[in-house]
Amino acid sequence: MHTMWKGSISFGLVNIPVKLHSATENKDIKLRQLHKECKTPIRYKKTCPECGRDDVENDEIVKGFEYAKGKYVILTDEELEELKEENDDKSVEILDFVQLEEIDPIYFDRSYYLSPNSGGAKAYSLLRKALEDTGKIGVAKITIRSKEHLAVVRVYENTLIMETIHYPDEVRNVGEVPNVPEQEDVGKKELDTAKLLIDQLTAEFDPTQYKDEYRENLEDLIEQKKDGEEVTIPKEPKKQDNVTDLMDALEKSLQKNKKKSTGIKKKSTQKKSTAKKSSEKSTSKKKSSEKKEKKTG
């Protein structure tokens, strides 16, 4: 697993040398833009519409922040480097310990595995055990590639994991979300039916049962075209009925889910019935064989 950062976890006077590894990966299939005529990848030039220049060199480009329409504050490379040096602390500094349930999922950003670096195994195990026993997680600060992040450190399947989280001012105010209805009176029958549907669809979370069907179909299509096979596009599932009545939609959903449940039960019953018949046949053959042996004897 690729190491993307080396540093240490610190809380109080305890210092744990660690390595950081990305815990997730983007599985999106990236498609290149090609020139249709010759299948060559398209290039993008840096241009200046004001000067009419078609190809601006890198040494002619500076960085700027647009604080108003068409107005910029220019920042030099030297100024940005100085800020990086001031903010280049190689540590995950744990500031507080809190309960995981206190942090809303909207704050979570990216996940990273933490592994002990040379000489850090014992302290790593100590922090892991302490977090497990107390049920707490650590709120920390870390600088990755010159950007300071807020993060949490917790235990995930016997491994310490660090998850960057958004700062409060990065989470938009829900009051700005348009067209959210005020509290409305919901009919008891509709609510009871909705709760029943939720009960029917409730299951233990198993991430392995969820798949990116579009990506899998796209991978298959690419392989078919690469191997020169006849291309077959998977048929789209039938569109659901456009039900406008809320109660009607709930009842149809319940009926649909009942059919699925019945189908599963039937299969299970058939399997049990087949197994029972097979067992009875086996017992019958065994008794017949024993009778023959007795007669022979």
Residue 154, SS3 per DSSP = strand
* Tokens (6 digits) for 137: 């997680």
Which domains are seen in the chain, by residue range? 5-26+87-170 (2.40.290.10)
Place of tokens 């977090």: 131
Residue 100 is predicted with a pLDDT of 92
**Secondary structure E strands in the chain:** 5-11, 14-22, 63-68, 71-75, 91-99, 108-116, 136-144, 147-156, 159-165
Cα gap 230→249, rounded to integer Å: 40
pLDDT for the residue 43: 84
pLDDT value, residue 90: 73
Q: Crossing angle for the helix pair 246-296 and 188-201, nearest 10 degrees?
A: 40
C-alpha 44/C-alpha 33 separation (Å) is 11
| Cα angle 250, 252, 253; round to 5 | 65
What DSSP letter does each residue of 54-119 carry, written as one string?
S---GGG--EEEEEETTEEEEE-HHHHHHHHHHT---EEEEEEEEEGGGS-GGGEEEEEEEEE-TT
Closest CA to 197 of 249, 241, 122: 249
Q: What is the pLDDT of residue 159?
A: 95
Residue segments in the chain with a per-residue pLDDT below the cut of 70:
84-89, 234, 236-244, 259-297
Contact 161, 111 (CB under 8 A): yes
Query: Chain-centre distance of CA 101, in angstroms?
Result: 19
Other CB atoms closer than 10 Å to residue 15's CB: what's the count? 13
Digit-coded pLDDT (tens) for 256-272: 777 666 655 555 555 55
Q: What is the pLDDT of residue 86?
A: 57
Tell me, what amino acid is at 160?
L
Q: Given this model, what pLDDT does residue 289 score?
A: 55
